[in-house]
Amino acid sequence: MIMKLTIFLFLIFSTSAFSREFEFEDFMVKVTQISTIQRIDLRSHPKARRYRTILRKAAREGINFAGHYTIAIWGCGSSCAQIAIIDQIDGKVYFPESVSYVSWGGWWHEKYGYHFKPDSRLLKVFGDPNEAGAYGNYFYEWANNELRLLKFVPRDPSRPPKLD
């Protein structure tokens, strides 16, 4: 009986550890204090020059991601947004291919789009990145100037999600 209880408890706790969603606090970083905003390096990526106005505007608003980066967001149609990530230290611009844009649609009370914080390397994306056909919650870590997918939680289209 004790052995069955032990196995049961192990399965419950090990499953919950693997199924839990990542939180911003899991990827904390110190926010760099930058006195002057770095000039954007429009040669750092082929797309940077095309979006120079929105990139410059976003950079002026300051650091909003991963300690010394700024995420610039702009619309790309109905229920769609694109991003670029600007390094406020050296001015380089990154256009992450894994989530170059996200589209969404669904339940009116659902989270959607990009969610991030100035003191965290975690990027939460709710929707369908690059319209690949997999709608749900994506969790990415910003490391080595790339977004690395940590977890994908598909959304069941037949049921509205629980509100938290």
Task: Express each pLDDT in 35-70 by its tens digit.
Answer: 767 789 999 999 999 999 999 999 999 999 999 999
C-alpha torsion sign, points 16, 113, 51, 91: negative
Domain boundaries, the chain: 26-154
Displacement of CA 63 from its chain's centroid (Å): 15
What HEC string does 39-50 produce?
Answer: CCCCCCCCCCCC
User: Does the pLDDT value for residue 147 go beyond 90?
Assistant: yes
Q: pLDDT higher for 124 or 15?
A: 124
pLDDT for position 5: 39
Q: Which helix (H) or strand (E) holds 126?
A: strand 122-129
Q: Tell me, what's the pLDDT at 159?
A: 64
Cβ neighbors of 131 (< 8 A, separation 6 or more) are 101, 103
In the chain, % of residues over pLDDT 70: 79
List, for residues 61-116, the tens digit of each pLDDT value: 999 999 999 999 999 988 899 999 999 999 999 999 999 999 887 655 567 899 99
For residue 36, report the phi and psi dihedrals to the nearest 5 degrees: -120, 140
Q: How far is CA 60 from the centre of its chain?
A: 21
Alpha-carbon distance 135 to 155, whole Å?
6
Instruction: Write down the pLDDT at residue 33.
Output: 86
- pTM, full prediction: 0.81
Short-list 67, 59, 144, 147, CA closest to 102:
147
